[in-house]
Amino acid sequence: MTREPIRAPELPDHLEWYNTGVPIRLREQRGKMVLLDFWTYCCINCLHILPDLRYLEEKYRDGLVVIGIHSPKFPHERVAENVQKAINRHHIRHPVANDPTLQVWRQYAIRAWPSIICIDPEGYVLGVVRGEGRRKQLDGLIAEQLEKAERSGRLNTEPLALRPRPEASATLAFPGKLLATGSRVYVSDSGHNRVVEATASGAIVRVFGGNSPGFVDGQGDAAAFSNPQGLSKIDEFLYVADTGNHAVRRINLRDGDVQTVAGNGRHGRGGALFYTDPLQAALNSPWDLAYHGGNLYIGMAGQHQIWSLQLSNNTIGRLAGSGREGIDDGAPDLASFAQPSALTVGDFRLYVADAESSALRSLRLPDARVETLVGLGLFEFGDVDANGQRARLQHPMGLAFDGRRACLWIADTYNNKIKRYDMKTNVVSSSLSCPELAEPGGLSLHRTQLWIANTNAHDVRCMDLDSGDCRRVDMSE
């Protein structure tokens, strides 16, 4: 029995649109291949398919239309201004519709992020492509459908009128992580694909990498990064989680030379879990770094695992995490994480901010047994100050260990707050007040000063923990 073709339901009138001056109507796209990309900007898997979509848009610029349907998981992601920031941060150039009530999600019976609905040039649904790593499949399908439309004389090559709203020019662009050492502050200027070295007063003295993304070793601004994030300083070397290149880089602070120390520059999916040559390792969106006892720990956000680069013998491999997205405790092989995005070390433990489960986790060193301190599951989140498992966070992405105060400082990113976890009482509290925080993504503690990468505001803040004063650090070149 032949299945009757299903006409793609029209998009509702009330959606908020970005990168276009007018709402996009599916009926006006007849003669084109249409991909509806159901995504949410917290989701690492959704971010992984953006390069594939850019490739396909460029290859099939005459006849392909990609429309992002932003389908938020967290309350913070429903806010129009935050969606616009995410579109700019991730360099999305196709039209995007925000669907805060998930009406279109239900209309198309979507079950998970990311999902792509494929609509043929006649306006009928061909099917859904789920998950990441589907470029080849989509490429073949698009080529087939556009060739068919061209043979029938129905191919529509009229381009969409796009109208992006870029960010205002600033010294920093979406700074992700930072590291304060006293005389120097190092900032991952993620939106500019570079790492900057500044004085404590904000004067930039050196730059590593340039504005354009790339994967190039070399001196200073002749090197190239792609969305650099976590930083760790070991002696005279600054290690960088080069997230967009799926690599770990090392900056020699004596001469400014940048070298790759782990990762082959390709996105690893389900590869080996141990490598005797780190340069052959298939990494998956390394997001943060922390150093302890000869090991550089890596928050492998894209693979939901914690890895370790052993500097003494130059090997790299998984430390903990089954690879399944979850919040399971226990032995390293059985435990699960959910997009680990921040690391810090203290009292022989590695602490982890698990962004997608809004959780705070702990790994006992050296056996890497995992324990959950805050958090219950992938869809348990909020803004609740309380003891232990009654506390709620919303997509935390920054951590700093404070031995003097026996606490952890948490960048509760989607609540736009800095919170404190008391390691003696297990109480989470919003004890710090820093105005105008906008998705703070990174923390670094040096003595009494807590440094904050204020990501969506394109700036850096510094809080004096004794006085409570929080100031904006004016970065200048």
* Same domain (yes/no): 72, 214: no
In a domain, 169, yes or no: no
CATH code where residue 309 lies: 2.120.10.30
Domain end marker among 151, 186, 207: 151
* Same domain (yes/no): 274, 344: yes
In a domain, 305, yes or no: yes
In a domain, 6, yes or no: no
* Same domain (yes/no): 389, 469: yes
* Same domain (yes/no): 331, 241: yes
In a domain, 425, yes or no: yes
* Same domain (yes/no): 144, 282: no
* Same domain (yes/no): 229, 142: no
Domain end marker among 116, 151, 186: 151
The Cα 85–Cα 457 span in angstroms is 10
* Same domain (yes/no): 401, 266: yes
In a domain, 203, yes or no: yes
> Which phi and psi (to 5°) does residue 87 adopt?
-60, -45
In a domain, 170, yes or no: no
* Same domain (yes/no): 321, 431: yes
In a domain, 288, yes or no: yes
* Same domain (yes/no): 263, 374: yes
* Same domain (yes/no): 119, 185: no
Per-residue pLDDT of the chain (477 residues; tens, 9 = 90+): 446 889 999 999 999 999 999 999 999 999 999 999 999 999 999 999 999 999 999 999 999 999 999 999 999 999 999 999 999 999 999 999 999 999 999 999 999 999 999 999 999 999 999 999 999 999 999 999 999 999 999 999 999 999 999 999 999 999 999 999 989 999 999 999 999 999 999 999 999 998 799 999 999 999 999 999 999 999 999 999 999 999 999 999 999 999 999 999 999 987 889 999 999 999 999 999 999 999 999 999 999 999 999 999 999 999 999 999 999 999 999 999 999 999 999 999 999 999 999 999 999 998 999 999 999 999 999 999 999 889 999 999 999 999 999 999 999 999 999 999 999 999 999 978 899 999 999 999 999 999 999 999 999 999 999 999 999 999 998
- 233 Cβ neighbours under 8 A, 6+ residues apart: 179, 181, 186, 239, 253
In a domain, 7, yes or no: no
CATH code where residue 88 lies: 3.40.30.10
Q: Residue 122 is part of which domain span? A: 16-151
* Same domain (yes/no): 129, 188: no
* Same domain (yes/no): 185, 119: no
Domain count, the chain: 2
